[in-house]
Structure 1
Amino acid sequence: MSSAAQTPPVTATGPIARARRRVPFWDNARFACIVLVVLGHGIQRLIYDSDVSYAFYLLIYAFHMPAFAIISGYFSKAASPTRRQMARVITDILVPYVIFEGLWALTKWLVEGEPGKNLTQPSWTLWFLLALGTFRLVLPYLALLRWPLAWTFVISVSVGYLDNVGSTFSLSRTLGLMFFFTLGWWLREHDIVRRFRLIDFRPWWLRLAAVAAFAAWAFVCWRWLPLWDEIDLRFWFFYDDSYSDLASDQWWAGGIRVALMLLAIVLSAAFFVLVPRSQTWWTHFGQYTMYVYLLHSFVLYPFRESGILRDLDPTWIWLPLITVLAVLIAFGLSTRPVRRLFRPLIEPRPAWLFADRALVSPQDHRSDPTGSRRSPE
């Protein structure tokens, strides 16, 4: 889940000269997003037995991956990649993908007796690695177009009508979420965040509106939960299945995705409004979300597959407990001992793969999956 930017971007009007420094807001946003990822996966088994958990699940899934994609796009560059940046696509995305697909194949063989052998079908969370790799490869071409946002919006909506675009190399999800990634890049390309002081400007009424947006969506999730269950709304948030697979093969089915994309934009904006701006004791954990993203699924796997997360009652006890557990998992997997132990797997630097070994430095580590290790603000 890494994106390409380590230096200030080059826009259509020239380079934007800014100090290479971290901005706490972005680290806070990254870590908050990864906590939501762990939480969503942690409560997934509860939704079959608890309406409250199901509504909470829908609340999270409506925006958390689009928000991740927006952050990823914001820290990506559309300029022609250098040889070192091209090498990073291999070291930051492709090599970890192969490593963790191998680990999942071994895990499934040991536990289930049936290893997954198809690298074209990403295991569990690994789909987003491939999506980010694709985003980074196609962004320079998208930037050549006159209306890249409009084109990716059309692509994201139209792909649902194509039954032959499936989960191979996570293509359907990649195309479905491409608009959000492009939106993040567009915001930075046009300097929207700095020009409109979107990080600094946060009056009380804007925070109140953000809370109201989440409260309204939470009410909608709870009030009409039987309807959302009947139409399998949660699968719509995956941006994975075609409209015909979602039992909505009518010509207007794309309108549902349009509505959900607009909802994701509103909730993502509300989320960014509520993210703390200042340095906190947990801000630095936002630099290490790759570790949480790739490792948390192994932590949750025995709980999800053993069935012990089913029939947990009462919900008012178990849902908060699992929420706290998800937060603790995110913190635990970000700690220095975990990073030191798993760095060779998550941040591999296989210089032997490259004809020019100077392209890969053993000291060059980038553990943040959704942005550079320095912020452009």
Structure 2
Amino acid sequence: MFHAAHGYQRAPLPEAPESGPTPATRTATAAAPAATGRKSAPGPAPEPKKPAGRDAYFDNAKYLAIVLVAVAHAWEPVMDGSRAARALYMIIYTFHMPAFIIVSGYFSRSYRGKPHQLRRLLTGIALPYVVFEVAYSLFARYANDDPGHPVSLLDPFYLTWFLAALFVWRLTTPLWRIVRRPLPIALGIATLAALTPNIGADLNLQRVMQFLPFFVLGLCLRPEHFQLVRRREVRLLTLPLLAGTALFAYWAAPRMRLNWFYRSSSVQELGAPWWSGVVVFLGLFVCALVLSAAFLAWVPGRRSWMTALGAGTICGYLLHGFLVKAGDYFGVFEENSWLGSPLGLVFVSLFAAGAVTLLCTPPVRRALRPVTEPEMTWAFRTDATELGARR
């Protein structure tokens, strides 16, 4: 579509044939290879067929994951002093974003960089990133009485980093499809990133690269892999696993820095030697995979009330941050210390889960569609191939 030297150039339309082949001609042409004993040249590998409709299992998984994201964000300002809350926070942060990223990678398998896919990349990811990056920055500037807060599209603020990361990951999808060992390569890149303290804050590349293996893993998965983790015996195995995880997290809660789970800093910036930092980084990666599998094992596969909400998780993700930041800017968490008590944490959890559920509903999704799912046909040229297909 684009040429570096001359800008946009429209390719010539294919000429229409004067007359189409007759049925007899088509039959003779098809029979020619068989008659001559020659094998016809193999065509390109067929692309994976798109499912007939949305899979309730994945919509349920996305909804449950976004609820965990909102609950964890709401706990962060009030959990100080509670060892149990800190342990649960660590468990959730170990897998909630990895699981969400794995599912995102799984649904990016068909990305080939085609014109309609590039348009969707710009309208469904780049545009929401710009809009909400500006919105969050202005909210911080005026609601937090911080007139010096910058508005920068290169330095993602709060939770907008995921859109920047998804944009980068999806652009690189064709590259991961042609290499032989994509997951080890992605894990090697993530490890090197964790050992490089001078990457900088542009697009939060430290976090983008450290989370990259989960996206690449999603690209490598097939439907039978999800069927495997949903088996009854796997679910039963997760019960002692989760119990052991809870005990270990309770022991580690006062001993481990939470920045390890955010994956936005190098091991040197976390004050660890490079060799022990690599061990911790790889250990967290394994824990994230195991807990993500345990989470996906318990996601219901039937259609239910949460299935329709799974289609609106982008709205819940982008909007719930305003509620959390509003509570922080207006002193709600500081003035209500009881929110850190066990009863308060239950209240905060229910409020966060209820709020993000409302933000995922179809009315909110329709209201935000001009920002999160715009068509914007006026902004793009019609590709010659698509125009020829229409004719």
TM-score by length of 1: 0.84
Displacement after TM superposition at 1:307 (Å):
3.3
Q: How does 1:245-264 map to 2 (within 5 A)?
A: 245-264=269-288
Write the letter of the residue equivalent to 2:265: D
Q: Which residue of 2 aligns with 1:364?
A: none
| SS of alignment partner, residue 297 of structure 2 | helix
- 1:104–1:116: 8 Å Cα contact kept in structure 2? no
- Contact 1:52/1:315 (CA < 8 Å) preserved in 2? no
**Equivalent in the alignment of 2:241:** 213
Match of 1:300 in 2: 324
Q: What is residue 77 of structure 2 aligned with on the other side? A: 45
Task: Single out whichever of 143-152 and 343-352 deviates more from structure 2.
Answer: 343-352
Instruction: Tell me, in whole angstroms, the C-alpha distance in 2 between the residues paired with 1:84 and 1:245.
Output: 41
Structure 1's 359 and 159: CA in aligned 2 closer, same or farther, altered over 3 A?
farther
Greater Cα offset, 266-275 or 276-285: 276-285
Mapped to 2, the partners of 1:282 and 1:267 lie a distance apart of 22
Tell me how far apart the structure 2 counterparts of residues 24 and 218 of structure 1 sit (CA, whole Å).
Answer: 29
* 1:75-99 C-alpha deviation (Å, 9 max, x unpaired): 1126532101011111111111111
Task: Give the equivalent residue in structure 2 for 1:9.
Answer: none
**2:289 corresponds to:** 265
Residues in 2 aligned to 1:13 and 1:208: alpha-carbon distance in whole angstroms:
39
Q: Give the corresponding residue for 1:326.
A: 352
Relative to structure 1, is the Cα distance of residues 297 and 87 closer, same or farther in structure 2, using a 3 angstrom cutoff? same
* Per-residue deviation, 1:267: 0.1
Alignment partner for residue 225 of structure 1, among 253, 256, 264? 253
Between the aligned partners of 1:358 and 1:343, the Cα distance in structure 2 is 28
In the alignment, residue 168 of structure 2 is paired with which amino acid?
T
> Which of the numbers 181, 184, 204 marks the counterpart of 2:218?
184
Contact (CA 8 Å) 1:43, 1:322: kept in 2 or not? yes
The one-letter amino acid of 2:114's match is T
Q: How many angstroms does 1:279 deviate by?
A: 1.4
Aligned mates of 1:243, 1:309 — CA distance in 2? 31
User: How far off its partner does 1:185 sit?
Assistant: 0.8
Identify the range of structure 1 (339-348 vs 167-176) with the bigger mean alpha-carbon deviation: 339-348
The residue aligned with 2:10 is none
Q: How far 1:59 sits from its partner (Å)?
A: 1.2
In the alignment, which residue of structure 2 is the partner of 1:373? none
- What does the per-residue CA deviation read over 1:115-150, in whole Å, with 9 as the maximum and x for residues that have no partner? 322211101110000110111001111221111111
Following superposition, the deviation at residue 224 of structure 1 comes to 2.9
Shift of 1:235: 0.7
Counterpart secondary structure, 1:76: coil
Q: Which has the larger radius of gyration?
A: 2
Is 1:29 the equivalent of 2:61?
yes
Cα distance in 2 between the residues matched to 1:96 and 1:341: 14
Unaligned runs of 5+ in 1: 1-11, 361-377
What value does the CA root-mean-square deviation take over the aligned residues?
A: 2.3
The separation in 2 between residues aligned to 1:239 and 1:290, in whole angstroms, is 21
Counterpart code for 2:228: L
Alpha-carbon deviation of 1:300?
1.8
Map of 2:368 onto structure 1: 342
- Aligned amino acid, residue 142 of structure 1: W
Q: Say which of 226, 237, 242 aligns to 2:261.
A: 237
Output the CA distance in 1 between the equivalents of 2:117 and 2:385: 9
Alignment counterpart, residue 189 of structure 2, candidates 147, 155, 167: 155
> Would the aligned equivalents of 2:154 and 2:203 in 1 still touch at CA under 8 Å?
yes
Could you tell me which residue of structure 2 aligns to residue 59 of structure 1?
91
Aligned 8 A contact 2:59 2:311 in 1? yes
- CA deviation vs aligned residue, 1:324-344 (integer Å, no higher than 9, x gap): 111101211022332233222
Letter in 2 for 1:185: L
For 2:119 and 2:194, locate their aligned partners in 1 and report how far apart those are by CA, in whole Å: 32
Residue 168 (structure 1) aligned to one of 195, 202, 215: 202
Q: Are residues 1:202 and 2:226 paired?
A: no
Q: Note the C-alpha offset of 1:358.
A: 11
Aligned to 1:354: 380
1 CA distance for matches of 2:124 and 2:361? 20
1:52–1:222 CA contact under 8 A, matched in 2: yes
Once the two structures are superposed, residues 200-234 of structure 1 have per-residue CA deviations (whole angstroms, 9 ceiling, x without a partner) of x521x422221222222111111232212xxx1x2
Is the 1:91–1:350 contact (alpha carbons within 8 Å) kept by the matching residues of 2? yes
Q: Which moved more, 1:114-123 or 1:89-98?
A: 114-123
* Separation in 1, partners of 2:49, 2:121: 25
User: Contact 2:59–2:307 (CA<8 Å) still a contact in 1?
Assistant: yes
Give how far 1:48 is off. 1.9
Q: Kindly state the Cα deviation for residue 17 of structure 1 after the two structures are TM-superposed.
A: 4.1
- Residue 118 (structure 1) aligned to one of 137, 141, 152: 152
Matches within 5 A, 1:75-86: 75-77=107-109, 80-86=112-118
- Match 2:311 to one of 287, 304, 324: 287
Give the Cα–Cα distance (whole angstroms) in 1 for the partners of residues 206 and 265 of structure 2. Answer: 7
Distance (Å, rounded) in 2 between the aligned partners of 1:326 and 1:358:
48
Deviation at 1:251, TM superposition (A): 2.8
User: Which is further off, 48-57 or 334-343?
Assistant: 334-343
How many angstroms apart in 2 are the aligned matches of 1:15 and 1:357?
20
Secondary structure at 1:240 match in 2: coil
Distance 1:359 1:35 in 2: 42
Question: Is the CA contact 2:193–2:206 (under 8 Å) kept in the aligned structure 1?
Answer: yes
Q: Distance in 1 between matches of 2:139 and 2:250?
A: 37
CA distance in 2, matches of 1:198, 1:17: 21
Query: C-alpha distance in 1, partners of 2:364/2:141?
Result: 25
Task: Identify the structure with bigger relative contact order (alpha carbons < 8 Å, sequence gap 6+).
Answer: 1
